[in-house]
Structures are given as structure tokens and as C-alpha cells.
Structure 1
Amino acid sequence: MDVAVISCCFRNVLETHVFIGFAKPWKATITRNRWDGVKLSLMDPSRTRINLRKPIKKLADPQGVNDPPGFGINESLSKGTGPFRQPDGSTSTDFDDNVDVFDNDLETENDEEKEQIEENVDWDPEDIETITALFRGRIPQKPGKLVRKRPLPLPIPYKNRPPGLPSSKKWTRTTNSSRKSVSSRVYKDPTFLIGLAKEIRSLDPEKDVSTVLDKCSRFLRKGSLSLTVRELGHMGLPERALQIFCWVQEQPHLSPDDRLLASTVEVLARNHELKLSFKLENFLSLSSQNVYEAVVRGFIRSGNLRLAYKLISAAKNRKMILDAGVYAKLILELGRNPDNHILIMNLLEELGERDDLNLAQQDCTAIMKVCIRLGKYEIVENLFNWFIDSGMKPSVVMYTTVIHSRYSNHCYREALALVWEMEGLNYLFDLPAYRVVIKLFVALNDLPRAVRYFSKLKEAGFSPAFDIYKDVIKIYAVHGRIAKCKEVCKEAELAGFKMDEQTRSLLMQLKE
């Protein structure tokens, strides 16, 4: 009886299938090979043994609401606490002695150790400072590494910039010259305008300039033909210049032209073809300042200095302020004659009374040269100081003129200071500068420097003039260098110069 009951129980157990949930629902089946034995198989169909892993402790969701299906079975199985039906119908928590499971006590000890490690974490001051610096935007460096030197990257050939000037970053709008209209390319082209003057010069005397100008009238603008008129003045054809002015008066799109009128009257005055009435006040009231200055320049170029001076005086009486360049040109021409001393001084006084004096460097140097001839060395110094105070840089010509002024005034040391100033500025000396400097060293009786600048003159490629040879012979003779005197005399004769009687008598005295 008992044996029959036990066999029935075993039959029920062996036919029961238990599903255990892992990553994939594996089956743990109990099969009966024989009636005399029971075997527990934990093998999946692919014959891979299942290894139970360490359970993961969940900190949140204790009720298991968000757990996937079968998660509770897996956890209970991994802990070894899941129910398992025994052959007698009761449940058990043990699978088999061959299965490795973690005990609840071991898991509890591991959790306590983790909590102690988390509680005992201490941050170093350097770590706290580094983390704080991340929010400040910069990581502080240690005292020993204040400057970090990084090696420069190696140059890449195809990324190197080609030699030459950098291109402009600004966008410049360039227009193709071929797309411009013909009038825009022609009306102020010097080649075209000078070509018109040459065509007019080649005309027959009976033909008028209109035969040439009518062909290109549509290409011209106001002021274009002023260059053509000035070119005809250089060619000595003032009547053709007057014909151009008359032709322009008949062209509505070219008349009136103040620039053309100024060029025409200047050409006529330069060639003595301009006749003025004695009533200069009427002419002054009818003409503009540009035309008036052109007339004065024309009379200066023609040599009619008295009439030019009268025009300037009339402009002063009418309180018309003419350009300072006109005064400079008249002073330069008047300075060629010593009898015009009074007129020059009057013009200089008028320039000195101006508050806004504006003189170009060339005009300023021309006035200095005239003042040196008249012996007005103080005016030269005043002009030189005014030029420097105006913020302009003197040229070699102006330095040479001031040195010559001080040399003529016997201020040798002051002149020598300007020579050293020119040397300090690395100015390239020209032939007049070498001539004045050698004269200065001869006056100072400085033989070594005079000889040195004489050598530098020849090294620069200049041919010494006759007065330079005379100065060098003179200083050699003063120091008793007879052999050098003969050598320089021979060099001068080979250059084509003939010694004068004064130099020959000096050499004869040295021989005696």
C-alpha cells in the first residue's frame, strides 16, 4: 500500500515542468531516465551551462512595479530563496548541492562595506580647487609651472604663404577700363591731349583748329584742353592757343572754362601777346584769382618783372591774397639783378606779415639763395627755423643752402653742425653738397676731413669741378704737401682743366 502511494507521488513530480526566468526563459526540467533515478538538468538546449551571477541590489522601486516579467523569479532563484516543490508536495529553497549561491549574510556584509566606503570619501584641497576653477573658467597652474613652453608646429610646405606683400583685406571694387566709355578714357588722357597739340602744330597756316577739334568734341570735358593750350605755348604757338579758346566759346558743353582761360592768358603773357590796359583795377575786378595769378606767372616767365610787380601791388591794395609761390618766383627772378634790392625786400616784408604762410620746399630754397646773394643771412635762418617748426623735413638742397649761408657768414662751427646732422640722417650728398662741405673744411684748415670728402666724392661717381681741385690744392699747399699738390694738378689737367696764374704762382712759391 505504501509503495503504491510513493510511486504515484514520484510520477506526479517527474511529469511536472518548472519555468525559471533569466535573460531568456530557460527550462529547468526533471526527466526520468529510469524508474530507479531522478536527475536535475540546468542545461539549455544549446548545451551551455547556466552560471548564476551575483544579485544586483535595487535602490529604488522596492515594490517591483517597473520590473520586467520574470524578474522576481530570477532574483529569488539567484538568492536561493525561490520555492521549489518537493516530491512530498512541500516547497523548498535549495536546488542542489552543485549550484553556487550567495548567502543573505554575505550580501548584507558587502552592502555595509560599500556604505562605509562612501561615507569615508575625503576630497583633497587640490581636487576641490580644480573643480572650483572649472566653474571660474580657468584651471590655476602650480607655482612651478607658471609659463608653459610648447614646441612650435613643424612648417607644412603647402600651407606656407608665398613670399611677397600680403594682399589687401578690404574689398576694392575695380572697374574694367575696357568697359568705360571712350569719353571717360580720353578727356583727361595726357597722351591724347598732347597728340591734339601735335596735330594742330602740323596743320597748314590757312586751316583753323576746328578741323581737328570737331572730330573729338564729343569726347572732351571742361578743363580738358588746358593741357593742349599749355603744350602749344611750349611749342611757341600762342595764336593757335587763342584759336582753341575761341573755338571752346562756341561749344555749349565746354564753355565757360576758367582753367582754359587761365592757361590761355598765361601762354599769351609769356609770349608777349597779352595787352593790358593801364587801368589794372578794372582787370582785377573782372578776373578770378586763378586767372590773375596766371597772368602774373606769364609776365614773370616773359621777363616783364616790372608789370608783374605792379599786378602784385594792385592785388595787395585790393586785399587779394595771392599764392606765396607767385611771390617766390618773382623774388627769384628779381634776385638775378642786384639793382632790385628794394623790390625784393618789399616782397619779403609782405610774406613776413602773413599769418598762414604756405611755401613749398623749392620756393623756400629759392628765396634762401636770393637772400644769400643779398647778404640777408638772418632771413635764411628764420626761413629754415620756420620750415622745421612747420613739421616738414628739409632736403639735401636746403641743407646745402643753409650750410653755404653759414659759410658765407663765417659761422663755420654752426655750418659743421649741419654737416654732422646730415650724416646722422644718412643723406646722400650730391655734387653741390660735396663742393660746399670741402670749402668748409678748407676754411677750417681741416686737411684729413677735406681729403676724405674729396675721396668720397670720386667714389660716389662724381667728377670734381675746377673750384674743388683748387680748394684741395690750396689746403695741400698750406700744409706743405708739395708732392700731393703736383699729383692733384696732374689729375686736374688730365680731366681737361688748365691751371690759372694764381695756382701756378702758388706752386712756384712752394718749389722755391
Structure 2
Amino acid sequence: MPQKAVRRRKESAAHVPPPRGARPAGTPAPKRYVRAASRGALSLRSPVSSRVFKNPEVLVRIAREIGALPADEDASEVLGRWGPFLRKGSLSMTIKELGHMGLPERALQTLCWAQKHRPLFPDDRILASTVEVLARNGQLKMGAPMERYLSSASRTVMEAMARGFIKAGNVDLTRKILLFVRDNKRALDASIHAKLILEAGKNPDRLRLAEVLLDELGDREDLDLRPQDCTAIMKICIRLGRFEAWRASSSGSSTLAAVWEMEERELLLDLPAYRVVIRLCVALGDLARAARYFSRLKEAGFAPTYDIYRDMIRAYAAGGRLAKCRQICRELETAGWKLDRGAQNLLLQIEDGLLSDD
């Protein structure tokens, strides 16, 4: 074939347009594709241990493999296979999962295995998870007076132990931890106090202790409580009739002065929290605040429960607000509820003039 014909064929081939949607050679790829490709490449190049030691699915899988072992085999049978891919802190989630599975003895075996592997231990996260699982299942054996053990325990471990005892309903041992902390000028998270108050308040014989704990918590300067903790404490305050505890002064001398900061900080509340706050406001005679929380509850998309409707009817009735009472009654009936005899009698009293109208 003549050279000119070959050259013309090559030139025509070089000028064939690319397929529709194809990117011409040499054109930079869009940034989003570059970033995605880079992440994929890094993921594939990263060591297996980097993709395992923080992966919840893998760590839960390890727990399930341990749980499936025959009773006469130790957890080390599984951990030995995964050992090369684990790092410090990895097994904390595995131990927690073993606790959820009701296998505290396997959690202890996992801790014992980790203690023999120096890259994985010492680690307070693994120790704290194991302590909490054992305490929750009534299997925490310290082998020494409790005070001697606590003196060498970190704050993380003591908090885990306290949480475990509270979940087990062991108020006395949790109280010992708090007394040790107080006497030794140490501190635990305020949520531990809140959880113990709730647990103690469940038992009529422990209500006096709940009051003492409430006062102790009120004396703390750091009241950084979560909404769930505030809700729990409010329940106990209502049960104890300690409504004055919520009349917080700006000086902070009253118990739990920080609770009303929930409103100022616009913290999100769940339905149980709204129920407790509204009941508390009604008990305090704070109608304006109760009405505000009632409105916020509905704005947040929650459906008021019957007892919330009933509390609002009583609050408006106490203020002689007949029109508001009727409005709440209509809402209640629209929601499919019926007034109980007590609420009906209350409305009759207002209509008969025993309470003043709006």
C-alpha cells in the first residue's frame, strides 16, 4: 500500500470523534471522581488492621464467634485468629456486645487474653467495658476491700463500675463508690448521680437516700446533665414532692438550678421529658410555662398522652380558664380519648360558678 494512503488512513482515524459521553484523552477528570477514586485506592492500600480494629460489624462478629464457641473452649480460640488485626481499644466494643449477649464470663476471658498482649493492654477502655459488664451481671469480684480497689482505679473505670451496679439495681455498692469519691476529693460525671437518684427513687424504702443524693447533686458546681438525666431527676422530685428544688435562683444555691437552663439552651426533649416537665409546671402552679411546653410538644410532632391533657385541664381549671379547659377537652376527644369522672366533675364545678370564668 502506498505510503500516502497509509498516512491518510492514520490521519482520518486520529480524527474520529469520541463516543457520546466519553471524556477526551488528557482532559482533567471532575474533582468528585478524583476524590472518590483516591479514597478507594487509599482504602485498598491501607493495612487490614486499619479497616478492622474500628469496624463495628467486625468487632460484633468477633463477639458472636466467641459466643458460638463450645462451653469447654476459651475465647482465645477466636481472638488468636483476629489478634494480628486488632489494636488498642478494639476489643471494648466486642466486650460490650458479649455483655449484651449475656456472656459476662466470655467478656472476662476476652480481657484476660488482651492483658497478655502488650500492644492491646493496658487500656482503660477494655478494662472499663469489662468491669461494667461484670458489675451489671453481679459477677464483679475484686478480691480486696472495695476502697483498696477504687484507690487505684481511674475515673473511667469507676464510672463504668457505677453504671454497671446501677443497671443491676445495686444501690448500696454504687453509693459506696460515690462516698469514696467524695471522701477522696475525686469526681465522677454528674450523670452517675442522676442515674442513682432515679434507681433509688424506684424503691419506697430508698426515698430518703434519693433526697440525700438530690441535695448532694445540687451542691455540685458542674451540672452538665443530659436531657434524659434531667427528666429522670424531675420524676423523682415529683414523687418526693420536692417542687421547691426547681425554683432555681440565679445564685444557683437551690437544688438543680441548671434544669431550667434546658429551656434557654433549647435542648430537644422527648415525649416522656415533656410529660414530666408539664406535670412539674402544673404542680408548681406555673401555668404559663406549662402551656408553653404543651405547645412545644405539639410543634415537635408529638401527640399528647391522656395524662398530659388531664394535667393541662387541671392547670387551666385552677386558673378558672373555662374556655381553655373546653379547648383542651375538644382536642382530647378529637384524639380519641374520653374524660374521666374526675375531670368531668372539675368542668362541672367551673360551669356551676364554683371557679371563676375567663
Query: In structure 2, what is the Cα distance between the partners aligned to 1:322 and 1:345?
Result: 19
| Aligned AA (1:330) | L
Correspondent of 1:431 among 286, 304, 307:
304
Structure 1 residue 446 displacement after superposition: 4.5
Q: Say which one has the larger Rg.
A: 1
| Aligned AA (2:183) | N
Structure 1 residue 300 displacement after superposition: 1.0
Query: In structure 2, what is the Cα distance between the partners aligned to 1:384 and 1:435?
Result: 27
SS at 2:247 equivalent: helix
Structure 1 residue 436 displacement after superposition: 3.1
Query: In structure 2, what is the Cα distance between the partners aligned to 1:388 and 1:249?
Result: 46
Structure 1 residue 280 displacement after superposition: 2.8
> Is there any run of 5+ residues in structure 2 with no aligned partner, and where?
1-30, 249-254, 353-358
Change (3 A) 1:230 1:458: farther
SS at 1:175 equivalent: helix
Residue 341 (structure 1) aligned with residue 207 (structure 2): yes
TM-score relative to the length of structure 2: 0.74
Residue 245 (structure 1) aligned with residue 111 (structure 2): yes
SS at 1:431 equivalent: coil
Correspondent of 1:261 among 118, 124, 127:
127
More helix by share: 2
* Preserved CA contact (<8 Å) 2:313 2:325: yes
| Aligned AA (2:39) | T
| Aligned AA (1:431) | P
* Preserved CA contact (<8 Å) 2:223 2:258: no
Structure 1 residue 440 displacement after superposition: 2.8
Deviations 1:419-440 (A, max 9, x none): 1465379444443444532443
Change (3 A) 1:420 1:345: closer
Kindly, what percent of the aligned residue pairs are identical? 41
1:312 is matched with: 178
Change (3 A) 1:231 1:458: farther
Mapping of residues 140-159 of structure 1, within 5 Å: none
Query: In structure 2, what is the Cα distance between the partners aligned to 1:220 and 1:474?
Result: 68
Choose between structure 1 and 2 for higher RCO, CA contacts under 8 A separated by at least 6 residues.
Answer: 2
* Preserved CA contact (<8 Å) 1:407 1:440: yes
Deviations 1:168-188 (A, max 9, x none): 9xx989633444332222211
Mapping of residues 316-327 of structure 1, within 5 Å: 316-327=182-193
1:272 is matched with: 138
Change (3 A) 1:408 1:278: farther
* Preserved CA contact (<8 Å) 1:451 1:472: no
Aligned residues: 306
Deviations 1:48-77 (A, max 9, x none): xxxxxxxxxxxxxxxxxxxxxxxxxxxxxx
* Preserved CA contact (<8 Å) 1:438 1:471: no
Query: In structure 1, what is the Cα distance between the partners aligned to 2:68 and 2:179?
Result: 41
* Preserved CA contact (<8 Å) 2:87 2:120: yes
* Preserved CA contact (<8 Å) 2:313 2:329: yes
* Preserved CA contact (<8 Å) 1:305 1:334: yes
Residue 386 (structure 1) aligned with residue 250 (structure 2): no
* Preserved CA contact (<8 Å) 1:381 1:402: no
Mapping of residues 65-214 of structure 1, within 5 Å: 175-176=39-40, 177-214=43-80
Residue 403 (structure 1) aligned with residue 264 (structure 2): no
Structure 1 residue 282 displacement after superposition: 1.2
Change (3 A) 1:348 1:277: farther
Change (3 A) 1:421 1:234: closer
Query: In structure 1, what is the Cα distance between the partners aligned to 2:85 and 2:296?
Result: 53
Correspondent of 1:419 among 287, 291, 305:
291
> Is there any run of 5+ residues in structure 1 with no aligned partner, and where?
1-167, 482-512
* Preserved CA contact (<8 Å) 2:223 2:256: no
2:8 is matched with: none
Structure 1 residue 352 displacement after superposition: 2.2
Structure 1 residue 205 displacement after superposition: 0.5
| Aligned AA (1:175) | R
Query: In structure 2, what is the Cα distance between the partners aligned to 1:282 and 1:241?
Result: 23
| Aligned AA (1:406) | C
SS at 2:223 equivalent: coil
2:162 is matched with: 296
Residue 376 (structure 1) aligned with residue 242 (structure 2): yes
SS at 2:39 equivalent: coil
* Preserved CA contact (<8 Å) 1:368 1:379: no
Structure 1 residue 231 displacement after superposition: 1.3
Query: In structure 2, what is the Cα distance between the partners aligned to 1:373 and 1:220?
Result: 48
| Aligned AA (1:239) | E
2:3 is matched with: none
Mapping of residues 464-483 of structure 1, within 5 Å: 464=337, 469-470=340-341, 473-475=344-346, 478=349
Query: In structure 1, what is the Cα distance between the partners aligned to 2:274 and 2:163?
Result: 28
TM-score relative to the length of structure 1: 0.54
Q: CA RMSD in A?
A: 3.2
Query: In structure 2, what is the Cα distance between the partners aligned to 1:228 and 1:237?
Result: 11
Correspondent of 2:328 among 449, 453, 470:
453
Query: In structure 2, what is the Cα distance between the partners aligned to 1:267 and 1:400?
Result: 32
252-261 or 430-439: which moved more? 430-439
Query: In structure 1, what is the Cα distance between the partners aligned to 2:133 and 2:219?
Result: 31
Change (3 A) 1:172 1:441: farther
* Preserved CA contact (<8 Å) 1:399 1:418: no
Change (3 A) 1:480 1:379: closer
| Aligned AA (1:246) | C
Change (3 A) 1:478 1:315: same
* Preserved CA contact (<8 Å) 2:317 2:325: yes
Deviations 1:259-316 (A, max 9, x none): 1111101111111111245633311222111111111111111111111101110111
Change (3 A) 1:224 1:439: farther
Change (3 A) 1:385 1:317: closer
